[in-house]
Structure 1
Amino acid sequence: MRESATAKALLQKRKWELPALRSSGRRFDLSRLFAAGAVAVIAFIVLCAIVPQWIAPYPPTEMMTDSIMQAPSAAHPFGTDYFGRDVFSLVVYGSRDSLFIGLMSVVVGGLVGGTLGALSGYIGGRLDSVAMRLVDTLMTIPGILLALAIAAAMGPSLTNIVLAVAAAAIPGYARVMRGQTMSINGRPYITAARSIGVTRFGIFWRHVLPNSLSPLLVMSTLGIGSSILAGSGLSFLGLGLLKEIPDWGTLLSQGRGYLTVAWWICTFPGLAITLLVLAVNIVGDWLRDYLDPKKKEA
């Protein structure tokens, strides 16, 4: 009777475990599927930015006076604006500046903030105190307000928007890199490297820095979406670069006055921003799970 009861308990336990395993596998497959779809979306938008003339059906500056504010149709999938320009072509050509702002602001912010945080966490002392007080001061100001103040002071240009968005992101990168560097610096293999006579620079360059980059890489990936949103917000407020081919934020700003009569002028640029930010965040989440050693061990 005891053996029978034990067997039933094991079967019952197995019955409860199998659905959990299947559910875990389904979640894993779905995460990979979402990541693959997000990569495809990003690749398409990057292609639009590199070779827009291959994808856009019309030149972005062509004004078709017989098709002003035409609703979406087969000839104009996203409709036309108040100048008769094809909105789909404007969205395709506008992806270049939006991507440039997102990528370059992350590169600049990650390099400056990551370097500051790594040196501060590794060297410590007065450098750490001064650098972190500066970072704390910057963190008291909301990122979008800091970017808005810098962009307004420097004037409307693509470079100034990149610098403004990057400056607002520096404190976050510095804090993450400092914490990771301090954690790596206290591990046994760092102590072993010191005991055999490896120089401080050698330890930092060969051991501390390479093992500290994973969180920075994940944060940078997720930061691209935030940077695109911040850059689009600055362009929406009129602090972007004014030129013939507007970016997505400028398209939103130009179309907001026609929202009740021609909703498509600003709706499709807004959807493009949403889709790109969502795709980048999905890839960032997948990359974070992939690089997490605890999940690998599980």
Structure 2
Amino acid sequence: MTGLAAAGTGAFSGVVSASRGWSRRIRLNGVLVGLSLLWLALVVLAAVAPAVLAPGDPVQLHPTEVLRAPGPDAVLGTEQYGRSVYVLLVHGARTALTIGVAATALAVVAGSLIGLVAGYAGGVVDALIGRVLDVMMALPGVLLALLITAAAGPSVGVLIVSVGVASIAGFARLMRGEVISTRTRLYVEAARATGISPARILMRHVLPNAAAPVAALATIAVGEAILAAAALSFLGLGPRLDVPDWGQLLASGQAFLRQSWWVSVFAGAVISLTVVSVGLVGDWLRERTRA
């Protein structure tokens, strides 16, 4: 009896310690998600109303303030033209967020339509679309976006299209799988038996039930699109704007990295924080859709 009691006590203690570990993990994840949402709210505010966070003029040059280290007059220092790095980062958020959201929207719409058709039609149509998607997924997304941007020329519109096209295959694959698992359910079979058109079945019955995983993936894809756009701008394929985007600011500080580290370091930190925050929020949404 004493041995059984000891074993029971040990098992109970193990369950309690495991539950405490899970509760600490949940609290930690909740804190990280909360901080990520706060950071993303600041990024959105910077994109919508940059003058609220950074009243300075991001275009005006200051030759006497070139490469000043971070301090009271310049919180994050200045770059090679004397402009505040903080002001440039705040005003550059609009370009980064515009490209990230627009490219993801293009990928979601195009990929979802392709996945809907392939998953619902099946047969030869599904096989043909599947081969095209296999070719697209065989190429790294950044490489495909780089090829499109290099061929069409640098601009915000081209960057949106190139990054969006590179993400279409992933959304099409996900939507196809969701449609295949949904189209055999009883309510879809009942709708088909009553003579409802395939297009109406897709829009009213299949798409709403397959949209949740796609929406969760779209949140993560925004961060990936921002990172891809920054990478292309870093390589010199970004749009030529008066206010440099985050990737261009990162690249511009590369030549002065040893003596003026703050230009590239702070630009890279902002990109990293934004991508990580979007990823954490996307993972949180994905877990909630599974629950």
- Tell me the TM-score range normalised by the shorter chain: over 0.9
- Other-structure match for 1:212: 210
Aligned partners of 1:253 and 1:13: how far apart in 2?
A: 57
* Contact 2:53–2:90 (CA under 8 A) maintained in structure 1: yes
- The secondary structure found in structure 2 opposite 1:174 is helix
- Other-structure match for 2:146: 148
**Map of 1:10-159 to 2, 5 A cutoff?**
10-159=8-157
Matching residue's letter, 1:123: A
- For the aligned residue pairs, the C-alpha RMSD in angstroms reads 1.6
Deviation at 1:228, TM superposition (A): 0.6
Aligned partners of 1:224 and 1:291: how far apart in 2?
A: 18
Deviation at 1:16, TM superposition (A): 1.6
Mark the runs of 5 or more structure 2 residues left unpaired by the alignment. none
- The secondary structure found in structure 1 opposite 2:51 is helix
Aligned partners of 1:28 and 1:180: how far apart in 2?
A: 29
What is the TM-score of this pair, normalised by structure 2?
0.95
Deviation at 1:288, TM superposition (A): 1.0
- Other-structure match for 2:261: 263
Aligned partners of 1:51 and 1:201: how far apart in 2?
A: 41
**Map of 1:192-271 to 2, 5 A cutoff?**
192-271=190-269
CA pair 243-201 structure 1, distance change in 2 beyond 3 A: closer
Deviation at 1:80, TM superposition (A): 0.8
Matching residue's letter, 2:287: D
- The secondary structure found in structure 1 opposite 2:253 is helix
* Contact 2:66–2:78 (CA under 8 A) maintained in structure 1: yes
CA pair 13-239 structure 1, distance change in 2 beyond 3 A: same
Aligned partners of 2:22 and 2:195: how far apart in 1?
A: 47
Out of 270-279 and 206-215, give the one that drifted further. 206-215
CA pair 251-243 structure 1, distance change in 2 beyond 3 A: same
Matching residue's letter, 2:176: R
Deviation at 1:202, TM superposition (A): 3.4
Out of 97-106 and 14-23, give the one that drifted further. 14-23
Mark the runs of 5 or more structure 1 residues left unpaired by the alignment. 294-298
Deviation at 1:63, TM superposition (A): 2.0
Deviation at 1:127, TM superposition (A): 2.2
Out of 251-260 and 125-134, give the one that drifted further. 125-134
Aligned partners of 2:116 and 2:275: how far apart in 1?
A: 28
Aligned partners of 2:34 and 2:111: how far apart in 1?
A: 30
Aligned partners of 1:202 and 1:100: how far apart in 2?
A: 32
Deviation at 1:215, TM superposition (A): 1.4
* Contact 2:110–2:168 (CA under 8 A) maintained in structure 1: yes
- Other-structure match for 2:283: 285
What is the TM-score of this pair, normalised by structure 1?
0.93
- Other-structure match for 1:296: none
Taking only the aligned residue pairs, the percentage that are identical comes to 38
Matching residue's letter, 1:115: L
Matching residue's letter, 1:144: V
Deviation at 1:6, TM superposition (A): 4.8
- Count how many residue pairs are aligned between Structure 1 and Structure 2: 291
Out of 251-260 and 150-159, give the one that drifted further. 251-260
Aligned partners of 1:266 and 1:12: how far apart in 2?
A: 53
* Contact 2:116–2:202 (CA under 8 A) maintained in structure 1: no
Aligned partners of 1:245 and 1:66: how far apart in 2?
A: 19
Matching residue's letter, 2:94: R
Matching residue's letter, 1:225: G
Aligned partners of 1:156 and 1:199: how far apart in 2?
A: 43
Deviation at 1:255, TM superposition (A): 1.3
Matching residue's letter, 1:212: A
**Map of 1:168-183 to 2, 5 A cutoff?**
168-183=166-181
Out of 8-17 and 246-255, give the one that drifted further. 8-17
